[in-house]
A and B are shown apart, each in its own frame.
Chain A
Amino acid sequence: MAKVIPNRVEMPRQDPEVRRRNFNEVALGFDMELARAEAERCLQCKKPLCIDGCPVEVRIPEFILKIQEGDMPGAVEILKGDNNLPAICGRVCPQETQCEEVCVLSKKYEPVAIGRLERFVADWDLARGMAIPELPPPTGKKVAVIGAGPAGLTCAADLARYGHAVTIFESLHKAGGVLIYGIPEFRLPKAVVKAEVDYVRQLGVDIRLDSVIGKLFTIDELLGEQGYDAMFLGTGAGLPRFMGIPGENYNGVYSANEFLTRTNLMKAYLFPEYDTPIKVKGRVAVVGGGNVAMDSARCALRLGNEEVTIVYRRSRVEMPARVEEAENAEEEGIIFELLTNPVEIYGDENGWVRGMRCIRMELGEPDDSGRRRPIPIPGSEFDTEVDIVVMAIGTSPNPLVFTDAGGLERTRWGTVVADEETGRTTKAGVWAGGDVVTGAATVISAMGAGKRAAADIDRFLRGEITVEGWD
């Protein structure tokens, strides 16, 4: 009977006082000694529950066993066999609600730190130049993938490993999607994203940057005159949402997308070495309670703003952000104004933000999302001085891509209608997955969708299944 080690190995991290002023990675990673100590905790269950908890079904106990045995190349082969982007997942997956939540140890003790071990194996492989698997002979089929975010990169990598020719069309000048513009450097170093993207290129995938589908080419053109045999849409949910309150267009009000894109993709934290600026003025209010709000707030701090406040309309329990990231934010000195919602933004005579009026909220009955509905408390309005406001209240799919895509059905929220198991849409020849289908969600669920669609596209391209109206 394996011995239970109740507590997980601590992840070395940058001290909050230090890390709140730099963009370096907060979690420093295990070394071999720490990794093997954590790997020892895995009981190698005969019926592992963790695999089902993983959206891409990584063979978790198997790769952990390899770490226990000291066979790192073996661990890499298993991990990368199931997950094309493990250095990313090991860092940003909410393992605490996935594999680690169902780990048998979590009942009475701390679950195995599966995510940290995944990161360790992935980083080990990355440092050694990443082994490229052998590819099968080309099938002669070609697939267009729209979007080089987590869904598109995963789908493309799997399709390439099945032997198909894949071209990814990416609208920005760098590949990665949210991995490159949204998630900050201190959670996900861009060098790691670049290495994982390069791996996908090395599998033979052609990534065409600066290519806005809906403008440069349309979906119908790619399927028609450009002759692609199938298409995967992974364009995400990149359309920012604003509250629609007065004053939202004053200078100094940003969507989280703009704030994060300037900071992370365009490296505004390195201005003037990098040309893109971002305003740094002192007091920042970030409206929202998800991971994007946490990321925006922690970036605002690191950019040099003195006081950063999260303003969220529900309570801590309802916040969708990862508990770990909310705790990191708190440790770094970010203030949480919960059960509070802005109602108006004030500006000065030159058009700059100078303050905000907020109202206190209380929680009523649950709404559609199952969370208790926030209700404004009449008469509880108060004014606060602020210099910058970041709206991190959600995003939806960018409609540009749907120009000339006849027959592609969408919901009233702008998301694409697609089968959850296969990714098939209502448009013949087109599969879709990730945020463009689900609305804003996680990197790993996008990857799972990319994987499932790749498998279905592969079956179709081999003639094992048929798709109505397309051949």
Chain B
Amino acid sequence: MYEILAREDLAPVTKLMVIAAPDVARKAKAGQFVIVRVAEEGERVPLTIADYDRNEGTITIIFQEVGKTTMHMGAMEVGDGLASFTGPLGNPTEIEHHGTVICAAGGVGIAPMFPIARALREAGNYVISIIGARNKELIFWEDKMRSVSDELIVCTDDGSYGRKAFVMDPLKELLETRDGIGHIWVIGPAIMMKFTALATRPFNVPTTVSLNSIMVDGTGMCGSCRVEVGGQTRFACVHGPEFDGHEVDWDLLLARQRIYLDEEKQALERWQAATGE
């Protein structure tokens, strides 16, 4: 059992949890993820590491309630325990000194972007962060992102907070007007990463994305998370999760994310019926 030490509702459907996992916390690095199982009958799901405290021995995860498993987790209280918590998995972000970097995060992608921006700043980069979401409610950790960035731009699709824009709009403007942007990170829903990476292509700036494929074990044994990058088959869990955003076959990723749509709907309806939501 991995105890939930703290929890926070960042938004009606966006939850934060602090989990006791000392050995994982000792090793965790920006860009990595954990595989979580809620209960005995639960599925194994990947969640990005939003933060870690090596002294306290904790890992912070942030998730949106989108289906049965995340809703089940969202209903858990401090003191409850997760049945399994495996990590840290995946390759950590490659942190180098590039000069100026842009960290563009959409929706729940803000969570993994926070430790990445922090590490880039600690390595001496000038960090420009852009955080965006559909509306004000879905924006979180604005202050935390500001604390690890030299500049922060906040936007919402509907204009309810910050600038009315998609993340790729201020991103394009920066690429058009600033010199010396050495590297870009884009993390968010697959469709957002697809179009944002496409937008940076004409500027020839290396763009790294973090792929959120469906996973089972997360250690390279099953191939559920197969993606195609530069025409080669790769496992997101062990070759990624970060890849060159200009080389990813986005349509394949989007198709493979839809494999279990019917089953996900069925599980969600069953959960909602059982919990009376």
Contacts and interface: CB of A to CB of B under 8 A. Distances in A.
B83 interface: yes
A275 B258 CA distance: 16
A291 interface: no
Interface stretch (A265-273, A376-384, A419-427): A265-273
B200 interface: no
A257 B223 CA distance: 8
Interface in B60-90: 68-69, 83-89
B41 A258 contact: no
Given A210-B85, A249-B228, A275 B267 contact: yes
Interface stretch (B4-12, B113-121, B141-149, B212-220): B212-220
B228 A279 contact: no
A251 B258 contact: yes
Q: Is the interface of A mostly helix, strand, loop or mixed?
A: loop
Nearest to A171: B219
Interface in A407-440: none
B27 A240 contact: no
Contacts of B24: 216
Contacts of A210: 84-86
Contacts of A279: 259-260
B15 interface: no
B239 to A, nearest CB: 11
A273 B68 CA distance: 12
Contacts of B44: 173, 266, 276
B89 A351 contact: no
A173 B37 contact: yes
Contacts of B233: 242, 248-249
Contacts of A350: 255, 258
B226 interface: yes
Contact of B68 (A216, A252, A275, A399): A275
A276 B85 CA distance: 16
B224 A258 contact: yes
B41 A249 contact: no
B83 A261 contact: no
Contacts of A249: 226, 228, 233, 252, 256
Contact of A215 (B27, B69, B263, B264): B27
A interface residue count range (under 10 / 10 to 19 / 20 to 34 / 35 or more): 35 or more
Contact of B86 (A212, A262, A276): A212
Contact of A272 (B37, B224, B228, B266): B266
A274 B84 contact: no
A216 B221 contact: no
A23 interface: no
Given A249-B256, A272-B270, A273-B41, A261 B87 contact: no
A255 interface: yes
Contacts of B228: 249
B219 A400 contact: yes
A255 B83 CA distance: 26
B124 interface: no
Given A258-B224, A398-B221, A216 B216 contact: no
Contacts of A351: 251-252, 255-256, 258
Nearest to B23: A216
Contacts of B224: 258
A273 B87 CA distance: 26
B46 to A, nearest CB: 13
A171 B86 contact: yes
Residue in A172, A173, A271 whose Cβ sees the most chain B Cβ within 10 Å: A173
Contacts of A277: 43, 260, 263-264, 267
B27 A216 contact: yes
B68 to A, nearest CB: 6
A465 interface: no
21 contacts: A171-B217, A210-B84, A216-B88, A240-B221, A240-B223, A249-B252, A254-B223, A257-B223, A258-B222, A258-B223, A261-B221, A261-B222, A266-B43, A266-B216, A271-B263, A272-B270, A275-B69, A276-B44, A350-B255, A351-B255, A398-B221
**What are the 5 A-B residue pairs with the smallest beta carbon separation, nearest first?**
A351-B255, A277-B263, A258-B222, A173-B84, A275-B43
Given A242-B223, A261-B216, A262-B216, 12 more contacts: A209-B84, A215-B27, A251-B255, A257-B223, A271-B267, A273-B41, A275-B68, A276-B216, A277-B264, A350-B255, A351-B255, A351-B256
